[in-house]
Amino acid sequence: MDLCRMPAHELGRLLRERKVSALELTDAVFSRIDAVEDKVKAYLLLLREEARSQARAVDAALAAKEELPPLAGVPLAVKDNLCMTGVETTCASKILKGFVPPYDATVIERLKEQRVVFTGKTNMDEFAMGSSTENSGFYPTANPWDLKRVPGGSSGGSAAAVAAGEAVTAIGSDTGGSIRLPAAFCGVVGLKPTYGRVSRYGLVAFASSLDQIGPITRDVRDCALLLNAIAGHDPRDSTSAPQEVPDYTEFLVPEIKGFRIGIPKEYVAEGIAPAVRDVLAEAVHLLTRMGAVVEETSLPHVSYSLPAYYLIAPAEASSNLARYDGVRYGLRVEGEDVVTMYKKTRSRGFGAEVKRRIMLGTYALSAGYYDAYYLKALKVRTLIRRDFDAAFERFDMLLSPTSPTPPFRIGEKVDDPLAMYLTDICTLAVSLAGVPGLSIPAGFAGHLPVGIQLIGPPFTEGKLLRVAYAFEQEAGITAKRPVL
C-alpha cells in the first residue's frame, strides 16, 4: 500500500477504518519529502513538527470515536500566498521574507475545521506572477515527470507536491491560469472556481478582480471534497458570493448522456502543439462515445484576452503592491530619507517580473493613458464575458486544452516574457469572464502529461466535476504517477 500515491478520499476511508493512523500517513508523506524534495523543490517551508502534532490530535479524536470531517488527517500543502497564523508567508518574494501573519486566511480557517494536516508552504512565482515557478524569488521548482522541465505556474509548488507524493492535496490560487496550468503540467486535477465562490480573505492580493483560490488534487473526487471544504460566503470578503454551497460529491455520477459540450475553435487554432491537439481529439472521441454531444463553437473576442489581461492584471497589481514599502513588514533597506528607503527596499525586494508588472500597470493607469489602455481593456473584458454568455446559451460547458504545449524546459522562456505569457492563452479568458475552469489530466505527450480544461457558466462547478469524473473513470489516466 503506497500511502503517497492514494487520493485523499481513499486515505480518509483508511483513517476512519483505523487501518492506518494519521501519524503514519503524515510520516509517510514526510519520508517521501525527504526522499525527493531535493530534486523537486516544491516547498518553501515545511511544517513537520506541527503536522505531526495535528496528526496525533486527529488520531486521538479517532480513538475517541469522534465524528470527523472527510479530510481530517489528510496531509495538505498550501501555496505561500495564503496567510496562516504564525507561519512565514512570503509569496516567494524577498520583499516579504520574514513576514509572519497574525491571522488565518478564511480558507485556512476552514481547512483547520476540517482537521487537515498542513505539510508546509509551497513555492510559486513571485506574487503569483508567472507560468513556470521560475519567477520565485528563491529557487525554481522542477516538474516531477521530468526534472529538466517546469511544473507550470504560478502554483507550481502545490501541483508538483501533489504529483510527487509530497502532499496528498494542495491549495493554489489562480488569476489567469495559475491553478489550471500547473495541474495540467503535473498531471493532476486543478479547479479555478467561479469568481466569488471561495473567499479571498487572507490571500495576498495580485489582481483582486481575478484572483481565486482553488483545489489541486490527485483525482476529481478529491477536488469535490476540497471544494466542499473551502467554498462559501464570507462576510470578510465582500466579493464572495452568498450563493449556497451544494455537496459537490453528489454530482459525481459517471453519466453524461446528452450533455452539450462546445469546443471554441479559437482554442484549437495555430499555436496549439500537435500532441495537445491529439489528446484533445481523443478526449472528444471518448466523451462522444459516452453520449455527450460535442460541437465546434466560437468565442470571437477571446483572441484579445492576452492584451486585456496584461493591462488589467498589472494595473491592479501595481496598486495592490504599493503597500510593500518597508515600513510595517517584510524587507526594509534603510536610506537617508523615507523616499530613498522606499526606493531601495522596492528595488532590492522585488524581482524583475514583478517590477515589469508594476511599470506596465502604472503606465496603463496614468493620466492620459487610462482611457486608451485600462478602460479599453475593461470594455474588451465585457465583450469576452458576453462571448461566454452566448456560448452557454447553446452549450452546458466548453472544452479546450489547458495549455497550448506540454511542459517546457526550465530556462526555455525566461528571457522572453511574451512567449511565457502565451502559455496562458487557453486560461486567461476564463479568468476575465469570472467563470469556473477545471483542468483534468487527459493523456500524455511522450512521458509528459497533458491536461484539458472544462469551462462552465458561473457556479456550475458541480456539472464540470460530473463530466470530469465520468471522463476520469473512463480514461483511467490518474492511475499513472511520475517515477522519481
The reply to whether 134 sits near ligand GLN by the rule CB under 6 A is no
Nearest 5°: phi and psi at 164?
-85, -5
Task: Identify each DSSP E strand in 345-483 by its residue range.
Answer: 397-401, 437-445, 448-455
List 70, 73, 176, 404, residue binding ligand GLN (CB under 6 A): 176
Half-sphere exposure (Cβ direction) of 62: Cα atoms closer than 13 Å: 24
Site for ligand GLN in 227-266 (CB under 6 A): none
User: Is the bond into 240 cis (omega within 30 degrees of 0)?
Assistant: no
Does 396 contact ligand GLN by CB under 6 A? no
Q: Does 177 bind ligand GLN (CB under 6 A)?
A: yes
Closest CB to ligand GLN among residues 35, 306: 306
Contact 276, 243 (CB under 8 A): no
Three-state DSSP class for residue 436: coil
128 binds ligand GLN (CB under 6 A): yes
Regarding 190 and contact with ligand GLN (CB under 6 A), the answer is no
Question: Does residue 326 come out as left (phi exceeding 0), alpha (psi in the -120 to 50 range) or beta?
Answer: left
> What are the backbone angles phi and psi of residue 109, rounded to the nearest 5°?
-55, -45
CB of 23 to ligand GLN, least distance (A): 35
**Cα gap 190→150, rounded to integer Å:** 17
What residue type is assigned to position 319 of the chain? S
Question: Which of the residues 178, 305, 318, 403 is marked catalytic?
Answer: 178
Question: Using the rule CB under 6 A, is 424 a contact of ligand GLN?
Answer: yes
Q: Is 39 designated active site?
A: no
Stretch that binds ligand GLN, among 90-98, 170-178, 325-333, 465-473 (CB under 6 A): 170-178
Distance in Å from the first CA to the final CA of the chain: 18
Smallest gap from residue 401 Cβ to ligand GLN (A): 16
Q: Which stretch binds ligand GLN (CB under 6 A): 43-51, 173-181, 258-266, 276-284?
A: 173-181
Number of residues counted as binding ligand GLN (CB under 6 A): 13
**Could you tell me the smallest distance in angstroms from the CB atom of residue 326 to ligand GLN?**
24
Is the CB of 123 or the CB of 175 nearer to ligand GLN?
Answer: 175
130 binds ligand GLN per the rule CB under 6 A: yes
Can you say how many angstroms the Cα of residue 440 is from the centroid of all Cα atoms in its chain?
A: 12
Q: Does 178 bind ligand GLN (CB under 6 A)?
A: yes
104 binds ligand GLN (CB under 6 A): no
**Which region among 52-60, 128-136, 288-296, 358-366 touches ligand GLN (by CB under 6 A)?**
128-136
Does residue number 122 form part of the binding site for ligand GLN (CB under 6 A)? no
3-state secondary structure of 29: helix
Our CA dihedral for 225, 52, 160, 180, rounded to 10 degrees, sits at 30
Catalytic, 132? Answer no
> Which residues in 338-357 contact ligand GLN (CB under 6 A)?
none
The least distance separating ligand GLN from the CB of residue 424, rounded to whole angstroms, comes to 5
Contact with ligand GLN (CB under 6 A) among 131, 141, 240, 439 = 131
Closest distance of CB 132 from ligand GLN, Å: 8
Contact 243, 197 (CB under 8 A): yes
Burial class (CB in 10 A: 0-12, 13-18, 19+), 147: middle
Based on the residue annotation, tell me whether 79 is a catalytic residue of this protein. Answer: yes
CA dist list (Å): 108 to 211, 226, 427: 16, 12, 26
CA distances from 271 to 89, 121, 425, 446 (A): 37, 34, 10, 19
313 binds ligand GLN (CB under 6 A): yes
**Residues within window 194-223 making contact with ligand GLN, judged by CB under 6 A:** 206
Residues noted as catalytic: 79, 154, 178
- Name the residues that contact ligand GLN, by CB under 6 A: 128-131, 154, 174-178, 206, 313, 424
